Structure formats: structure tokens, C-alpha cells
Amino acid sequence: METEIKTLTARLLAHRVVPRGDALAKKALLDDSFRLELDKSLAAVGLRLVENPYAEHVAVALLPEMTEPVFGSGDAWLNNNLGLPRDGVALLVILWSLIILPKRERQIARVEAGKESQSDMFGAQKPLETGEAVSTGVSEDALYADFGKALGGRTRFNANLGRLVNLGFIVRRNRWLDEGPMLDLMIDYAQLAPRIIEGALADVLLRREGRDALADKRAEAAEDEAEAVDDSAGPLFDLPPDEDAAHEETR
């Protein structure tokens, strides 16, 4: 076991990611005793295993208690340890929002649909679909048209795209950007997704193809609020009789 743990740890550090289907990665995910020893080994150097059932790879990241010693050790707090400038981090968040959020919604929807259609209470659970079956990319030209000027222009945009490709966050083919092995692992979905969906990027994402789900959620919320209003309270804006008549004539 010790040799296997050393091998997996070394591969995670050298390659940054290991496919989920790899024999040692599978063992780490399914064998509790192996996972316990692996966690101890990684924790000894301030690291932890990062994985989620929606991603095709596993990786390592800092333990929470190591964040301040690593990122706050200089004169200023670092926003990443990958050498990305601020506009590069912004581009990464935008790509994550356009690729991972729709992918996660499709994965969750398929899981829920599978539960509804399952007739056998004790039937085997199907593995989550990943990869191209649920993940779609974005057009590089469309991305630049929407965000390029805000991210420093064409030169900075291309430079940061190149950095993200080299770091494994995206795959760039014929001016089309697809999910890389790191994109769904290195950003915490539970923390960032609510900030994106309800925050500053929400209106921008609503204008992007494939973000209709956000509009549906808002519409459902508005309908729920409307239904909660007591009909006996009368209209919210009640015109005086003469203004109401004039209003009717002009309609």
C-alpha cells in the first residue's frame, strides 16, 4: 500500500491531475483504508485530495489551514499560486461560469430524471455522465466579443487564454474552448455558483446561449412571489376613477 500511495501522490504532483478511471485513483475513491492513508500522507505536506463525482479527474489542493501561510506570506495576499494575473483570474471565472454551470445543471437534471424513471427501489445507481455527453464549450470569438475589451484587449486576452491552456483549465481547438481537466476541480462549485447565478455576472450570462435555466429560475421565483400576494389586498397601483377611464380609452 505504501508504494501505491507514493506512486499516486507523485503522479498527482507531477501531472497535477489523474484520470478518475485510473486504477490507483479508483482505489483512492473506493477503498476506505487506502483513502485514509492517502489523506494522511497528503496532509503531512499540507495537501488534500480534490475530487467530485461530476469531474473526470482527481487532483490535489491546499488544506484550508495552509491557505494563509501560502497565499499571505508575501507583501500582498496572492489570489492564486499559478502565476495568473488579475485579468487571467477573471477570464478563468468567466469560462467556468459558461462551461461548468450549464454542465452541472445538465448532470443534475439527468440524475433527477433517472431517479424518477427508476422502478426498482434497490436498482443499481448509474454512474454520472461526464465529458462531451454533458459538457459543451464556448466560441473564442463570441467570448472575446462579450468580454475581451474588459479583459485588456486582444493581446492580453490571447495571452491569458494561453496560460489557461497550459495550466489545464481549458482545451483550445479551432477557436473553440472546451473544458480542461482542471476546470471542474480547482474552483469550489458550492461557494462560487451562488455568487455567479445571483451576482454581478447573472445578467451577462442570461444573454449567453444555454443560460435559459437562470431565467426560468427567476421566473419561477417571481411567480411564487405573485401567488403569495393576497388577492383581497387589491391592486398595487390603483388609478383614480377619471384616470382609470382615460387609461381604458387609450388602450
pLDDT per residue as tens digits for the range 101-143 = 888 877 777 666 655 555 554 444 455 555 455 567 889 999 9
Using alpha carbons, select from 235, 84, 96 the residue that is nearest to residue 178.
96
pLDDT band at 235 (very low <50, low <70, confident <90, very high): very low
pLDDT per residue as tens digits for the range 25-65 = 999 999 999 999 999 999 999 999 999 888 889 999 989 88
Residue found by looking up cell 496572492 in the block: 78
Cell of 2: 505504501
pLDDT per residue as tens digits for the range 141-188 = 999 998 888 888 899 999 999 999 998 999 999 999 998 989 888 877
> What Rg do the C-alpha atoms of the chain give, in angstroms?
24
Quick one: pLDDT at residue 229?
Answer: 42
Q: What angle do CA 184, 190, 193 make, to 5 degrees?
A: 75
pLDDT per residue as tens digits for the range 185-218 = 887 777 777 777 776 565 655 555 444 555 555 5
pLDDT band at 72 (very low <50, low <70, confident <90, very high): confident
Cell of 3: 508504494
Cell of 147: 468580454
Core vs surface per residue 93-122: b (16+ CB within 10 A) or e = ebbbbbbbbbbbbbbeeebeeeeeeeeeee
Alpha helices in the chain (DSSP H): 2-15, 23-30, 32-43, 67-71, 86-117, 140-147, 153-166, 189-198, 202-206, 212-228, 241-250
Looking at the DSSP bridge assignments, the partners of residue 178 are 171
pLDDT per residue as tens digits for the range 2-28 = 899 999 999 999 998 999 999 999 999
Q: Do 114 and 107 touch, CB atoms closer than 8 A?
A: no
| Strands 176-179 vs 138-139: parallel, antiparallel or unpaired | antiparallel
